Structure 1
Amino acid sequence: MRKAIFAAGAPWGRDWSALIVFGLWMGSAAAEPPDFDANTLTGGWSGLRAEQSGQGWDWDLGLRLEQMSVVRGGLAQGGRPLTHLDFKLKADLDKIMGWHGATAFFNLIDDRGGKPNTDYAGSLLGVSNVEVPVATTRLFHAWIQKEWAEGQFSLLTGLYPIDSEFMVVDSAGVFVQPGYGALADVALTRGPSIFNNSAFGLRGKWTSADRSLYAQGAVLDGIPGDPKHAVGTRVRFAAGDGVMAIMEVGHRPVAEIPDIDFAADEMRPDTEAKAPEPEPGFAKYALGLWGYSERVDDLVDVDDNGAPAKRRSLGWYALAERTVWRETAVGDVTVFARYSQNDGNSIALERSLNLGVTLKGPFKGRDNDVAGLGYSRGMISDKYRVFLESGGALPTRFEDAWELTYRFQMENWLAIQPVLQFIRHPGADQSVRNATVIGLRLDLAL
């Protein structure tokens, strides 16, 4: 049973390469085509890619290769390579068919390889944000969005992962552990629409005229895909799925720090190999709520018939990030924090915390490198501790995870990222030794 819980949590995290495209392509129909010759391994194909972009078709291909190994502690020592292939296509429907303010986006992903967390680390917080329970190729994004009032209002429908816009801490994108993407407790619920399995739904968003305030909400199928057929892309609306709803309100300060224009478009740390353009810095404060319409099984309590009691599954979160220092000789220093809490009846983690600091351009001549130190804590719910005790385990009250990483931007199309992780109390089980994980990530923009 315990191993099944880890397997279910394996796809935690988010597909940051898709998020980059999501953030940069929205509202960018008038932008110049990318410099494919400089930023991709295969180049611009004698102008063909730029020509297609001018006609409204933008596509991109990225490849990630990764090795994550447990070298001490955990369930066992060892690891296997992982691969993540990512194809994205954005269609500017204004250019293509005259539909003003409309965009279509498709993201096909292929994920293969080992399971460093499920088979070796045994962590509730996870090890790699590209680990998946089943090797598969599937559509991750497949949606259409319509904007009004110069982009202040938008409505999106289709296959849509909530961690592409909700719960987002932009500056934490450099980290490999999945808990810096989708919240660790949300990832353990009955069926969140996150990497690598998205659900069909509807998302609406409003932003103020100066883009400093926003409010957004989404309603999606309560269980993505078809649990009985885990391979491939499936859209199924079955009895008992219900819906998941999530909403978030946020504030992005406008020019509160001299020389940092927070109102400008931000360039998030990229999991592809493209070198970031000069960025204005990070600043964001947000509060969110989420919940499911269908009641779920309680971890411990039973009804009069001895069946698991049914409970509501809901929670909230708050986040903040801020670039606090910009200096050419030192680089940009950004700090972030995120906290979440849920009802504690059906989820192993009742609360989660992320803290971190990133440094962009830490050395002279390495302006696009990013160093990061992150800390996560998952507080174990009382009922999950009882559940573990019933199986003979001696549970802890929390699980901690540290991550130290440095992303070398070797070329515009190539990035190399060594990773060191330390996980305390993996799986909240005192019989499992603290785990040390080392890894290496290679990203190529093809």
Structure 2
Amino acid sequence: MKIKNKFFLNAPSIFALSLVAASCAAALPAAQAAAPFSYDSPWMLGDWGGTRSQLKEDGVDFQLNYTMETASNLAGGYNSSTTMRYADQLAFGIDLDLEKLLGWDNTEFQMTITDRNGRNLSDDAVSRNGMLSSVQEVYGRGQTWRLTQFWVRKHLFDNLVDIKAGRVTVGEDFDTIDSKFQNLAFGGGQAGNWRGDHWYNWPISQWGGRVAINVTPEVFFQVGFYNQTPYNYDRGDGFRFEVSQTVGNLVPAELVWHPTFGPDNLKGNYRLGGYYSSVQDEVYGSWRNGNSDTAHAYGGYLLAQQQLYAQPGGSNRGLTLTAQAVMNDHKTAKIDNYQSLTLVWKGLADARPEDEIGVGASRIHVNSSYSTMQRRENNANGAYYESNPVWIPIQHGSEYDYEVYYNIHATNWLQVRPNLQYVVAPGAESGVKNALVGGISANLSF
């Protein structure tokens, strides 16, 4: 058995131990804040006697994070029997301030290695051939080890220009928000979720980079350039970096506005962007007997996030609204449009100022040309009924995803989120029942 599988089998027990440690940490006095398992420490293993804080001050910041997500099909779906799936991710990172370490002005280096494990409830219990979204967002993109980040970032001309280059993920810079939802349809990088054959979000990296121009303290414009090769995605190729099999390039561009409003300085995050891929893609509507025309992919997106209310007792407490939309071309995209709306309230109760509750709804629509291609494939294969082994289930219309969660700030190094999800028309397939899914996710910082 491989080492990573051994870890995966023991992951639930590791998480259980962290919960016990968190409950004990709450009883530690403030003087023990830097000690292992103390409530106030940002790290479960503590500050290493002050060494970790000193290293960070000197320009060396270590990260070791663990994310787990469980999901259980409570009712409906393709497999109506109650089923549970567990998926997780380990992330090992180091951030270096090269100005402090080498004297390079305004220069930063980041390296992150990730490992994903587990299974996804969306693949076999909620839907027949996989949901359009996923009830466990940490699953996917190959359950394997990857070099996810290996880049250098530098600010030039008194911070007018911001450049990043190396092994990068598109979603860490474009279409970006923070999210604690477990369903994939409510996080950041939605442009990549519905064009994942070209726009690679975390944990897949590729050679590339982006240049940002800071127009004002609140406004900047950025454009990226990312190499596209099958090696970026294939399982087992997480450390394969040649570009000899390049099939094209992805170029996203984005205008970003970070305003604050009113006496409470209500924060906003507004992003308007688009992308173009030079890869030759199949034109679904032209499919005839295995042959089709080709075209380039393109699309656009809008992200609007605004704090609506600041609750007394802390600037980060209050209600925040997020709206997202994606439009893809009708020739080459399976998902031609997507919309979502979420509301998150942090610190609703004075006794729990760091806890938050969130609710979200999304719609994911299948391109009608893609549905037409599936029907033509069935006709070409003589598959007119589901009983035929080569019959392809037709995906058409929309899948709707809903979620409500409560994030428990157990300690500064552990957060736990029970959640409830409801999926209407899983996979946008007729004949599959709506699904009620219960889940628990958690983040642990070592």
Q: For residue 102 of structure 1, what is the aligned residue in structure 2?
A: 107
TM-score, normalised relative to structure 2: 0.82
**Secondary structure of the equivalent of 1:285?**
strand
Distance 1:151 1:185 in 2: 28
Q: Matched residues in 1 for 2:274 and 2:106: separation? A: 29
- Change in 2 beyond 3 A, CA 1:223/1:431: farther
Match of 2:93 in 1: 88
Residue 58 in structure 1 maps to residue 61 in structure 2: yes
Matches within 5 A, 1:73-84: 73-76=76-79, 77=81, 78-84=83-89
Out of 346, 359, 362, the position equivalent to 1:373 is 359
Q: Which structure's CA Rg is the greater one?
A: 2
SS across alignment from 2:94: strand
Q: What's the CA shift string for 1:125-168, capped at 9, x where partnerless?
A: 22222102532111111100111133231111111111112112
* Residue in structure 2 matching 1:245, options 239, 248, 251: 251
1:425 is aligned with what amino acid? A
Kept in 1, the 8 Å contact 2:345–2:357? The answer is: yes
Offset of residue 184 of structure 1: 5.8
Please tell me whether the aligned partners of residues 77 and 434 of structure 2 are also in contact (alpha carbons under 8 angstroms). Answer: yes
Return the alpha-carbon distance in structure 2 between the equivalents of residues 343 and 351 of structure 1. 9
Look up the equivalent residue of 1:57 and give its one-letter code.
V
1: CA distance between counterparts of 2:55 and 2:299? Answer: 44
Q: What corresponds to 2:116 in structure 1?
A: 111
Q: Which amino acid aligns with 1:290?
A: Y
| TM-score normalised over the length of structure 1 | 0.82
Contact 2:227 2:246 in 1 (8 A): no
Q: Is the 8 A contact 2:70 2:136 kept in 1?
A: no
Contact 2:144–2:235 at 8 Å: present in 1 too?
A: no
- 1:4: which partner in 2? none
In structure 2, C-alpha distance between the alignment counterparts of 1:242 and 1:83, rounded to whole Å: 32
Aligned to 2:428: 428
Map 1:403-422; keep pairs closer than 5 Å: 403-422=403-422
* Secondary structure in structure 2 of the residue aligned to 1:96: helix
**Aligned partner letter, 1:82:** A
Alignment of 1:180-259 (within 5 A): 180-183=187-190, 186-209=193-216, 211-223=217-229, 225-227=231-233, 229-253=235-259, 255-259=260-264
Gaps of 5+ in 1: 1-34, 261-280
2:139 aligned to 126, 131, 141, which one? 131
CA distance in 1 between partners of 2:125 and 2:354 (Å) = 33
**Secondary structure of 1:80's match?**
strand
Q: C-alpha distance in 2, partners of 1:165/1:82?
A: 25
Structure 1 equivalent of residue 308 of structure 2: 324
Relative contact order: is structure 1 or structure 2 higher (C-alpha 8 Å, sep ≥ 6)?
Answer: 1
* Offset at residue 208 of structure 1 (A): 3.0
Partner amino acid, structure 1, of 2:155: E
Residues of 2 paired with 1:384 and 1:306: CA distance? Answer: 14
Distance 1:388 1:79 in 2: 31
1:293 matched to which residue of 2? 278
Cα distance between partner residues in 2 of 1:232 and 1:140 = 8
1:36 shift after superposition: 5.4
- The 8 Å contact of residues 339 and 354 in structure 1, kept in 2 or not, is answered as yes
Please say which of residues 244-253 and 220-229 is displaced more in the overlay: 220-229
Task: Spell out, residue by residue over 1:324-375, the C-alpha distance to the aligned partner (whole angstroms, 9 max, x if none).
Answer: 1112389501111111101122222100001111101011211111111111
Relative to structure 1, is the Cα distance of residues 362 and 434 closer, same or farther in structure 2, using a 3 angstrom cutoff? Answer: same
Asked whether the equivalents of residues 364 and 398 of structure 2 are also in contact (C-alpha less than 8 Å), the reply is yes
The 1:343–1:292 alpha-carbon spacing in structure 2 relative to 1, beyond 3 Å, is same
The answer on whether the counterparts of 1:160 and 1:193 sit within 8 Å (CA) in structure 2 is no
Structure 1 residue 361 and structure 2 residue 347: aligned? yes
Query: Any conservation in 2 of the 1:158–1:201 contact (CA below 8 Å)?
Result: yes
Residues 22-33 of structure 1: pairs in structure 2 closer than 5 A: none
Per the alignment, residue 15 of structure 1 pairs with: none
Q: 3-state DSSP class of the match of 1:225?
A: helix
1:236 maps to amino acid: E
Taking the TM superposition and a 5 Å limit, the aligned residue runs for 1:28-47 are: 37=35, 38-47=41-50
- Check conservation: 1:345, 1:383, Cα contact below 8 A: yes
The equivalent of 1:336 in structure 2 is 322
Aligned residues: 387
4+ residue stretches of structure 1 with deviation over 6 A?
none
Q: Distance in 2 between matches of 1:393 and 1:340?
A: 25
Please give the alpha-carbon distance, in whole angstroms, between the structure 2 residues aligned to 1:119 and 1:236: 35
**Counterpart residue identity of residue 287, structure 1:** L
The separation in 1 between residues aligned to 2:305 and 2:235, in whole angstroms, is 39
